[in-house]
Structures are given as C-alpha cells and as structure tokens.
Structure 1
Amino acid sequence: MSGLPTALITGGTSGIGLALAHRLAGTHDLFLTGRGERTGLPKDAGFIKADLSMPGEAADRIEAALRQADVGALSKLVLNAGTGTYAAVGAEDAAMIRRTLDVNLAASVLLAHRLAPFLEAGGGRLVLIGSVAYKGSGNMPAYAASKAGLAGLARSLRAEWSGRIGVQIIHPGPTRTPMHEKAGYVPGRLERLFFPADAMADEIARLMETDRPRATVMIGARLRRLLSGKAS
C-alpha cells in the first residue's frame, strides 16, 4: 500500500464506477469489485471478483480480500453497483425482481454494515450511488424501488452513525453506460441528452468533496459544465 487513503468502489469495472475509479487514481489506493475480469482498470488498483446478486457471499469475499491486503481503514466506500430490467411491472418475474433488489439494495445494506468498522477506523464516508429514478420510473418498477430503498438506507445510517461515519447519497441523472443495453432499454434520440460516464464521474467526485448529505446530478450540473467550457 502507498500510504494514500483507501477507497473501495463496487461495480468499478465499467460505466460510472470505472470512470470514477480513474478520477480517484493517484489520490487513493483503490479496490474495485466486479463480476467480470480485470480489464481497463487504473494501474495498481486492486480487483475483487464478487457477484452482488449473492449478497452474503459477496460481502464475505470483499471483507476477506481487504483483510488479506492488510487494509484496516477505508476513506471512501462507494456502493455504485447496480442492475435493472426495463419492463412493465407485470413483465418481471420473481427471479428478476430478486436479482435487482439483491444487487442494488440488499448487498448495499450488508456491505455498509460489514465494512462500517473500516470506515470508522479511517474517519471515512459511505457514498451510495442512487438514481433520479428513486422517485418513480415507468417500466423500471423494481429498479426504482431499489433506489428508493437506498435513499431510506442513507437516512437510517446517517442517524445511526452520526458523529462516527459520514453518509452521502448521490442520485445521477441519465448517463450513457452499458447498463441500458443489459436492461433492454433503447433511449433513441433521448440518449443525446444523457451524461457521458466520465462527465458524471466528474460531478460525483466533486460532490464527494462536499458535506452535502444528498445531491442530484441533473440540469444544474449540465449548465455548470457548459459554462466552464466542458463538453457533456
């Protein structure tokens, strides 16, 4: 380990998670989780292969990997991994609903509590990556419900951990990531209005340096980028 603060990002092998990992590289020792192989990750980032659709097994694997790497403290725990299906409420069967809730919510609850001692030791912060869909989103009922659950989890942990561990939830607006194809969602012309993953990672990294307990990345962020001369 380099002596830099340590950050762990779930779902760190693609999309927003991978882009955010590249933003934090150089200022943090990084550990990234994912189901696939280690490709395109920042140099020297640790990779933990874990399938969050099996929350208990994934939590065991992640905690064991940190201890094996002699990590005793975390500065940031970014619970970013997410999945979902673009389908009407009657089109999702029990297995599809269960997978979405396990990856997006159950795994986040387990990891937050399992890794709380690491965060407390590091004076760290839990960052939950939600979605603007948490207020409700047609044709993604289980996904919207899971993100609403994250908002409730953030409120609960903020009260439970007050004065010990920081808790922040950030709700990204529509972002171009591989999740859309996996979910079966074809945005068409609307995709032109979506944030690129690297632009969303810039906004999330900026918000993580503030004391805001909750934030949404939408129109205001796009205007700020345009005024600063950054493409989005």
Structure 2
Amino acid sequence: MNDRPTALITGATSGIGLALARILSIEYSLVLTGRREASECADELPPGAQYVKADFSDPQAAVAEIEAAMRTAGLSRLDRLIINAGTGYYAPVDREDSAMIRETLDVNLAAPVLLTRHMVPFLEAAGGKVVFIGTVAHRGSPNMPAYSASKAGLAGLARSLRSEWEGRIGVQIIHPGPTRTAMHKKAGYPGGSLERFFFSADGMAEEIIRLMERDRLQATVMLRAGFRRLLTGKWS
C-alpha cells in the first residue's frame, strides 16, 4: 500500500462491487473481498489491489480474515468501507428453507454489523466513511421476503450508526435500482423483457460513486438517473 487513501470493498469480484473497484482504483489503494479463490479472480481485479477471500455466510470467520489481512499489510487507517456483498433468493416465503434464510441474513446483515464494529478503529483514524449498498427492495419485494427484510435491517443499521457516530465516522446507504448482474441468475430471478431497462453494473457503479460524494444518509438510484444517462449518451 502507498500514501493514497484506502478503500475496502466487500463483494468485489463481480457485478457492482467489481465495477466500483475498477473505478475507485484510480484514486484509492484497495482491499477487496469475495468468496472466490484468489487464483480464480486475480486477472479480473484492478492491478495492485489486495484481495482477501472472505465468505460472509460465516460472518465471524470472514471478518477475522479481513482484519488480519489489513493488520498484516500494515494498514491502520480506512478512508472508505463499502459494504456491497449480498445474496438472496427469488422465492415466496413458503419456499425459502431455513438454510436459505440463514445465508441471506448472515451475508446481508449479520456480517455488515460485525464488520463495521471491527473497522471502527481504522475508520476513526482516517475520519472515514461507511457506505452500505442496499437495494430498492428494502421497502418490500414480492417473492424475496428474507432478502427484503435483510436490506431493511441494513437501512436501520445505517440510521443507527449515523446518529451514534456523528462527527466521528460518516455513514451512508445507497439503494441501487435494478441492475444486470450475475446475482439475478443465482437468486433464481426469471428475468424477462424488462431486463433491457436495467442498469449495467458499470453504469450503476458510476451513479453510486457520484452519490458517495454527498453527505446524505440515504440515496436511491432509479429511473431519473437512467433517463439522465440516456440523454447524456452514457446508457449501456
């Protein structure tokens, strides 16, 4: 690592997380996490980024791996913590078994709570900021009850920490609208003709970074941003 500001991005090996990493690598030294083995994703990650394999379905082990890697690298400050890792299943409530629900809650809520707790000294040393990546589904979405509940909990966590850490550490939650990523296939989302109107991962990452520069607690990327990108020739 060098004297540039440092950002930690979870869920950074695909989709929005990878797109965020590629853009932010211009300005930040990066610590990136994901479930994949390093050998499987090294060629896709920005050059110079430090990669930590961390599976958030086991929150305690994942957070221990991340903290240990940061201390081994000699990092004592963290300017941005971007909690992007997420999972979920497209299924009605009577089709989600306990293992599916447990994984969704662990990855989307338990792990973020635990990670923010352990990153407090690093963030405080830099006067840093936590950015949670939520979803428009946090208000409730048919056939994704556990996912929606976990993201609603994440929004509650952001509100609580914003109040608790005022003047010490910045807190923000950004809710992306529909985005074309591999998560839909994994979740079992059937797709359809509306997918052509979804944001690309790169386009959504650009919108998230734009909103990160603001001090608002909560922001949502939806149709208005899409229309603006279309008019400026940035839609893809």
Fold agreement, TM-score > 0.5: yes
Structure 2: tracts of 5 or more residues without a match: none
Alpha-carbon deviation of 1:219?
Answer: 1.0
Q: Which residue of structure 2 lines up, in the alignment, with residue 119 of structure 1?
A: 123
Determine helix, strand or coil for the equivalent of 1:163: coil
CA distance in 2, matches of 1:28, 1:210: 18
Partners in 1 of 2:195 and 2:37 — Cα distance? Answer: 28
State the AA in 1 paired with 2:10: T
SS of equivalent to 2:175: strand
Which structure 1 residue ranges, 4+ long, deviate > 2 Å from structure 2? none
Per-residue deviation, 1:37: 2.6
Identify the residue that residue 30 of structure 2 maps to in structure 1: 30
Map 1:27-106 onto structure 2 (within 5 A): 27-38=27-38, 39=41, 40-106=44-110
1: CA distance, partners of 2:108 / 2:228? 29
Corresponding position: 1:164 with 2:168: yes
Output the amino acid matched with 1:27. E
Match of 1:150 among 151, 154, 157: 154
Corresponding pairs, count: 232
Aligned-pair distance for 1:227? Answer: 2.4
Look up the match of 1:184: 188
Tell me the amino acid that sits aligned with residue 10 of structure 1.
T
Q: Which runs of 5+ in 1 are unaligned?
A: none
Which residue identity does 1:87 align to in structure 2? Answer: A
Counterpart amino acid of residue 123 in structure 1: G
**Aligned to 1:175, what secondary structure does the other structure show?**
coil
Instruction: Give per-residue Cα distances to partners, 1:43-92, cap 9 Å, x unaligned.
Output: 00000001100001111111010000001000100000000000000000
Q: Does 1:108 align with 2:112?
A: yes
Q: Distance in 1 between matches of 2:133 and 2:100?
A: 21
Q: Give the residue type in structure 1 aligned to 2:32.
A: L
Paired residue type of 1:2: N
Tell me the equivalent position of 1:137. 141
8 A contact 2:180–2:199 mirrored in 1: yes
How much does 1:128 deviate? 0.2
Aligned to 2:3: 3
**Counterpart-to-counterpart distance in 1, 2:210 and 2:222:** 14
Find out whether 1:17 has 2:17 as its counterpart. Answer: yes
Q: What do you get for the CA RMSD once the two structures are aligned?
A: 0.8
SS at match of 1:115: helix
Counterpart residue number, 2:203: 199
Residues of 1 paired with 2:92 and 2:17: CA distance? 27
Distance in 2 of aligned mates of 1:231 and 1:37: 32
